[in-house]
Structure 1
């Protein structure tokens, strides 16, 4: 568990699309994030999505975990859409 800023090494593959209050958001759910970060609150991280660098806030899912938003710009760059798998590598916790 990492409750303070510093290096993180978590790689996972997940589909783009998290259901939040009956809406499908263009996010990927981070597995085991509440345990990894020791919080259910937003956490800012450095990551790559299919090799593309991203600095973003992981948002709470409402069910205890976190999700990483995959912007329309990034989806276009990757040629991905809702339902497509992406590989995410979290490398650093900033907050």
Structure 2
């Protein structure tokens, strides 16, 4: 069963740690009520995605970015700002 969400984040693309390309979603643990991995559906730069938000080890979750999605939005360099909109918790 899914749960609707309506949260928008603007974050810089990072390239470090466990994932080659990701964004950190500050405040996501409070929004989602958990510090566990969470499956979500949303948009990145207006393009739809399904993904699992991963733990960063502190409060925010990381959203791993697939190369194909980065190519669709024309961004993928460290420091590029992107808009992430979470629409549904799966």
The bucket for the TM-score relative to the shorter chain is 0.7 to 0.9
**TM-score under structure 1 length normalisation:** 0.83
Q: 1:36-94 deviations in whole A, cap 9, x for unaligned?
A: 11111100001100000001100101113201111111111211122211101001111
Moved over 2 A (4+): none
Which of residues 64, 86, 89 is equivalent to 2:85? 89
> Could you list the runs of 5+ residues in structure 2 that have no partner in the other structure?
none
Residue 42 of structure 2: aligned partner = 47
Which of residues 54, 69, 72 is equivalent to 1:59? 54
CA RMSD, Structure 1 to Structure 2 (Å): 1.9
Matches within 5 A, 1:6-85: 6-17=3-14, 19-20=16-17, 25-81=20-76, 82-85=78-81
